[in-house]
Amino acid sequence: MSDQELLEASDSNVTVSNKNATELLRPLSEYASSKWLKNQDFSNGIESIMNEEVVVKGIKEMLLLIKDASTSKDNESSTELPSEEIIYNFDWNAIYEISSKMIEEYSKQIDTIFKELENVNKKLGYWQEAGFSFDAHRGLKIINNHEEWMKQKEKYLSYRQQQLDSTVKEIADSVGRLEKE
């Protein structure tokens, strides 16, 4: 089955048997793997999106500062001191600034996400309350309908009882008259 046929089959509203489903899933996973996982353009696109993130940029800056400090110190002291006595001098203020900016940005993003989550939870609560009210009303209506049906059935059975009683009374009277005659 070609990729195009596979896409058309997955897009159509056709029910598929279990055998056909496994035949479709295997090529579909191969298709996804070839189009996304093994595709260098796709990987590069994702990597460029990730590189735009503030956190990733901050981490890269910190790593470059650390790398610059370590390589410059290595070049300066490689001939002067033995390796046990090399002391690296980092710019801790720059690292602190970058990390604090990252934390602030992360906190802002988390606050925004929590606000969105709170709004979604409010809407979900409203939806649940409306659903509960609707279900309660519908259930009450069904119970009332059943109760009314039972009352009508009891009336009908009472009426039938009266008819049977009157019929029995007439039969008894008729039998009594026949016995007298």
Phi first, then psi: give them for residue 13, nearest 5 degrees: -95, 50
Q: Taking a C-beta distance cutoff of 8 angstroms, is the pair 1, 27 a contact? A: yes
Residue 4: alpha-carbon gap to chain centroid: 30
Rounded Cα gap, residues 168 and 21, in angstroms: 70
Domain ranges of the chain: 1-52
Residue partners of 59: CB distance under 8 A and separation at least 6 = 102
Rounded Cα gap, residues 69 and 76, in angstroms: 11
- The CB density around residue 58, as the number of other CB atoms within 10 Å, is 20
Please give the chain's pLDDT, 181 residues, in tens. 454 554 454 444 444 444 555 555 556 666 666 666 677 777 777 777 766 666 667 777 777 777 776 665 545 544 555 555 555 566 677 778 877 888 888 889 899 999 999 999 999 999 999 989 999 999 999 999 999 999 999 999 999 999 999 999 999 999 998 888 7
Q: Taking a C-beta distance cutoff of 8 angstroms, is the pair 98, 61 a contact? A: yes
Residue 132: half-sphere exposure toward Cβ, Cα within 13 Å = 6
Q: Taking a C-beta distance cutoff of 8 angstroms, is the pair 100, 60 a contact? A: no
Q: Taking a C-beta distance cutoff of 8 angstroms, is the pair 90, 69 a contact? A: yes
